[in-house]
Structure 1
């Protein structure tokens, strides 16, 4: 799905308007957090944070020094009708992970008012400093190798825990308000769904694509032909890569787990927080067996124990890479990248 320049410009205009209004509303937001947490007007502004899909304000209690962050989805970064779903899914996933894993995720309050987590952006720590932020990000050669190895060992442990969270079917997870039991009953919301609707002009409703999609017929014939061939190449690989016989039950999978959504102590290289679980769903198990697409140096490994007879996660990752299934899975999750991959 090619990008739609009209949709992109409209999204950029909406985002600029929202950011302006968001900054102007800072005192009201601080007062709102103060009221929700019962701080008796002790709340004060600490700083702004801007992520890929959210704007956040950190607020501090000047008496107790407690710090929290309140987050808001950015309009048109997230499709308007899905903004509430995005927030709901993230709250549910973080709650589930706090109950079932040791992953460093924040405590939650109302309206995604969450615990303030210490640390620096892991993506910024990893990349080589450049004078231009638009430069291609590469690994900083000055990073201590031993500390970097420790980082990857932590990540391997987190991925191993996530790969063991099994469910019976593909959907978003939910929790029954009466029984407290976890289930998979909600429609999924994926990173790719949001991207093609927000930035490619693709309609969210069924069966309306051809009537509403803006034309891309101005593209050169060779580009159009290349897109056609890429999609047929992808379709022909479905019998080969579309199903792993021994993959087992479906797994909880985060579409957006990457260094820029992690916080790390730059001195000890301890990962202090994993953030942004809004595009986390129960997905085909083979997605959990791929190498992370952002991995810079080597395959993650783990010395953690595993259930008897279960294949090593590292072995599954190696098979995914060697067989080419990694690229098939990546294309199936990111429709915009099909042209580049195939």
Structure 2
């Protein structure tokens, strides 16, 4: 895969908007901690059994915040989880929780994926002190699977290169089983809403602005290569539940038996073309390929680490397919098994196209590292598009100037 030598294409958050979000979240956290006693009573009355609740601890993630409570009636502990305003789009919190509850309940009914039981849930208007939409669910014992698998004493979450293969085989077999169960579920597609954002600090210079422009135009032109090919993948279906965040960082495991005890965080699950499930898992090194590319490492370094683990995962998947052969044959209607489809995705490069489509922050970096076929790229644009690129570059530089001035005014007293 030839790589174009261009400046770093790592995308950064808008510092002003990020600070505004952090401020909103901090103010909300101050409120919620003051209401621990009220929340303990609220949770106790929204679960089976009686008794009162006692605060145990809090749990926080990138987008959600939870309190854990125990109960004096001997029942199991429970948590109440809220999406964090400021870190989750405030206007869409109700929608987010509604969707996640529907996915969790559906998967509990149609698969044996270990998903916590939901006791109650509600929207902003139904929450105590208008704290936000909530889910009250079982607290599940276990250790994060990523903690078991990661390289010790490292800040980055990276797979331990010395991990025992028998550990990975057991873990891979369980996750492969979950994937096969999702594969047989079917949905109709809904037309996605068109939401575009204008990020003023998207490019730190004209060369980066042009590289991003070329990447996004060329990426759009690749749709026909990967989704209207002879394999029949036209993006018209089938559509199945796709859990992009179903990875070790969102799984709990019994550290002694290595049995997965819970799969968490289905907030980003939706119905996607089946081709996305046909891709090999991106998380086999725990962190995605963009982490290596952001460090200015070569694609070859990533591949040298990833491909042996992909081969190991596919072997585990084939074993699960073999054990479930009768059921798989019944559901497949003669189509290739998932392991074969994953090999096809990797061999043809569709893995990278799909990954870039899902990772909007990294689409430019992935295009240049994995999808571009050499040359500067500008020669592939027609005259009209080149003129648009010049206008785009000028606009981004003007926006960047205003953005930097606003950042200086906002943060100069804090630095």
Q: TM-score, normalised by structure 1?
A: 0.82
Write the distance in 2 (CA, Å) between the matches of 1:128 and 1:323: 31
User: Which residue is equivalent to 2:71?
Assistant: 61
Question: Aligned to 2:152, what secondary structure does the other structure show?
Answer: coil
Contact 1:170 1:250 in 2 (8 A): no
Contact 1:250 1:283 in 2 (8 A): yes
Tell me which of 11, 14, 17 is aligned to 1:4: 14
Write the distance in 2 (CA, Å) between the matches of 1:128 and 1:275: 22
Question: Aligned to 1:110, what secondary structure does the other structure show?
Answer: strand
Displacement of 1:40: 4.3
Cα–Cα, structure 1 residues 287 and 64, in superposed 2: closer, same or farther, change >3 Å? Answer: same
User: Which residue is equivalent to 1:261?
Assistant: 250
Contact 1:148 1:269 in 2 (8 A): no
Task: Indicate the RMSD between aligned Cα atoms, in angstroms.
Answer: 2.2
Question: Aligned to 2:343, what secondary structure does the other structure show?
Answer: helix
In structure 1, the gaps of 5 or more residues are 172-186, 189-204
Write the distance in 2 (CA, Å) between the matches of 1:228 and 1:218: 10
Tell me which of 277, 281, 293 is aligned to 1:292: 281
Cα–Cα, structure 1 residues 246 and 166, in superposed 2: closer, same or farther, change >3 Å? Answer: farther
Question: Aligned to 1:290, what secondary structure does the other structure show?
Answer: coil
Displacement of 1:16: 2.1
User: What's the CA shift string for 1:299-341, capped at 9, x where partnerless?
Assistant: 3413322125121101111111111101111111121111210
Cα–Cα, structure 1 residues 144 and 313, in superposed 2: closer, same or farther, change >3 Å? Answer: same
User: What's the CA shift string for 1:24-83, capped at 9, x where partnerless?
Assistant: 221121111112236544211122111221101111112314211110001122111110
Question: Aligned to 1:128, what secondary structure does the other structure show?
Answer: coil
Question: Aligned to 1:114, what secondary structure does the other structure show?
Answer: strand
Cα–Cα, structure 1 residues 44 and 327, in superposed 2: closer, same or farther, change >3 Å? Answer: same
> What aligned pairs does 1:1-342 form with structure 2 within 5 A after superposition?
3-37=13-47, 39-111=49-121, 112-130=135-153, 135-141=155-161, 143-170=163-190, 213=198, 215-216=200-201, 219-243=204-228, 245-247=231-233, 248-296=237-285, 297-298=309-310, 299-300=313-314, 301=317, 302-303=320-321, 304-305=324-325, 306-307=328-329, 308-342=333-367
Write the distance in 1 (CA, Å) between the matches of 2:26 and 2:119: 28
My pick for the range that moved more, 64-73 or 88-97, is 64-73
Contact 2:150 2:158 in 1 (8 A): yes
Write the distance in 1 (CA, Å) between the matches of 2:365 and 2:283: 16
Contact 1:46 1:60 in 2 (8 A): yes
Displacement of 1:143: 3.4
**Relative to total residues, which structure has the larger strand share, 1 or 2?**
1
Write the distance in 2 (CA, Å) between the matches of 1:145 and 1:217: 41
Write the distance in 2 (CA, Å) between the matches of 1:319 and 1:264: 31
Write the distance in 1 (CA, Å) between the matches of 2:339 and 2:36: 46
Cα–Cα, structure 1 residues 61 and 220, in superposed 2: closer, same or farther, change >3 Å? Answer: same
Write the distance in 2 (CA, Å) between the matches of 1:256 and 1:159: 13
Write the distance in 1 (CA, Å) between the matches of 2:272 and 2:42: 37
My pick for the range that moved more, 275-284 or 12-21, is 12-21
**Relative to total residues, which structure has the larger helix share, 1 or 2?**
2
My pick for the range that moved more, 249-258 or 266-275, is 249-258
Write the distance in 1 (CA, Å) between the matches of 2:202 and 2:74: 61
Displacement of 1:269: 1.0
Larger Rg: 1 or 2? 2
User: What's the CA shift string for 1:152-185, capped at 9, x where partnerless?
Assistant: 01010101111111123247xxxxxxxxxxxxxx
Displacement of 1:21: 2.3
Contact 2:150 2:157 in 1 (8 A): yes
Cα–Cα, structure 1 residues 231 and 72, in superposed 2: closer, same or farther, change >3 Å? Answer: same
Contact 2:146 2:157 in 1 (8 A): no
In structure 2, the gaps of 5 or more residues are 1-10, 122-134, 286-308, 368-415
Displacement of 1:141: 4.2
